[in-house]
């Protein structure tokens, strides 16, 4: 992924947090058929595939390596392709929004501003493993994914109770398990970009954040929060560098 230096995020904790908050990833892989004639007759035999998958990210406490866990429909041909060619890319996208030049206070003085788009994204590169007919693994994965998302729901008398896999009849869960395969991605590396007006001064950052909140609702507020967080981190880094040089 092309990442200009000001937007690069190398902190693994921040990368993992973005995935946890935005678990629906798009998994890409390519598995070309070996038969050249078949590729000519049937172009779809050269398969660039993409599947939208809700993931959970877990850390191996012994190796400190991260893995993505999920499941696919047993009828999804992407699973067979991954068994032939396990290398894959999973893309997670965080808060994003169009940015209007009208939100820049300094626009009134110079008019030298154009629209842009702020966004957050993590690219995860790794090798996929398909797990078939392993009930214990599948149940563990389903519990982990479910608990992650149910844990984000509010609690209290005004809300429905949080759901667990054990709430459903065991024979029903067994039937559901027969329709899926497990997916485990061993992560080789992360790439993360957060484009949040890091190169703009505080006056424009304040104007853009106010425009996002005023005009774009909850979506805009999420982008504004990322923007303000990135500028706070930039200020902390600059202060630390100043203190070090002093």
Q: Model confidence over 14-56: pLDDT tens digits?
A: 999 999 999 999 999 997 665 555 555 555 555 789 999 999 9
Residue 144 has pLDDT above 60, yes or no: yes
> Which burial class, exposed, middle or buried, applies to 128 when counting CB atoms under 10 A from its CB (0-12, 13-18, 19+)?
buried
State the Cα–Cα distance between residues 92 and 38, nearest whole angstrom: 34
SS3 105: coil
Residue 243 has pLDDT above 70, yes or no: no
pTM of the model: 0.87
**DSSP letter at 156?**
S
- Classify domain 5-198 by CATH number: 2.30.110.10
pLDDT value for 240: 46
Terminal C-alpha separation, the chain = 37
On whether the CB atoms of residues 69 and 139 are closer than 8 A, the answer is: no
pLDDT single digits (tens) 175-224? 999 999 999 999 999 999 999 999 888 899 999 999 999 999 999 999 99
Residue whose tokens read 């425009």:
211
State the Cα–Cα distance between residues 74 and 178, nearest whole angstrom: 8
């Amino acid at each position: 992924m092309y990442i200009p230096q000001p937007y690069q995020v190398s902190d693994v904790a921040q990368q993992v947090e973005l995935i946890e908050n935005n678990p629906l990833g798009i998994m890409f892989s390519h598995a070309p058929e070996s038969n050249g004639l078949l590729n000519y007759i049937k172009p779809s035999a050269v398969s660039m595939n993409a599947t939208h998958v809700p993931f959970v990210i877990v850390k191996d406490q012994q190796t400190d390596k991260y893995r993505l866990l999920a499941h696919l429909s047993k009828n999804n041909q992407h699973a067979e392709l991954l068994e032939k060619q396990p290398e894959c890319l999973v893309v997670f996208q965080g808060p994003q929004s169009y940015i209007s030049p009208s939100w820049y206070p300094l626009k009134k003085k110079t008019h030298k501003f154009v629209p842009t788009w702020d966004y957050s994204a993590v690219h995860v590169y790794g090798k996929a493993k398909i797990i078939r007919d392993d009930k214990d693994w599948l149940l563990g994965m389903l519990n982990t994914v479910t608990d992650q998302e149910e844990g984000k729901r509010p609690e209290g008398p005004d809300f429905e109770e949080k759901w667990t896999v054990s709430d459903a009849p065991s024979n029903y869960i067994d039937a559901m398990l027969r329709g899926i395969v497990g997916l485990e991605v061993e992560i080789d590396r992360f790439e993360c970009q957060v484009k949040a007006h890091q190169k703009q001064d505080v006056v424009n950052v304040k104007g853009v954040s106010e425009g996002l909140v005023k005009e774009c609702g909850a979506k805009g507020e999420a982008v504004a929060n990322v923007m303000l967080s990135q500028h706070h981190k930039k200020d902390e880094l600059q202060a630390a560098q100043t203190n070090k040089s002093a």
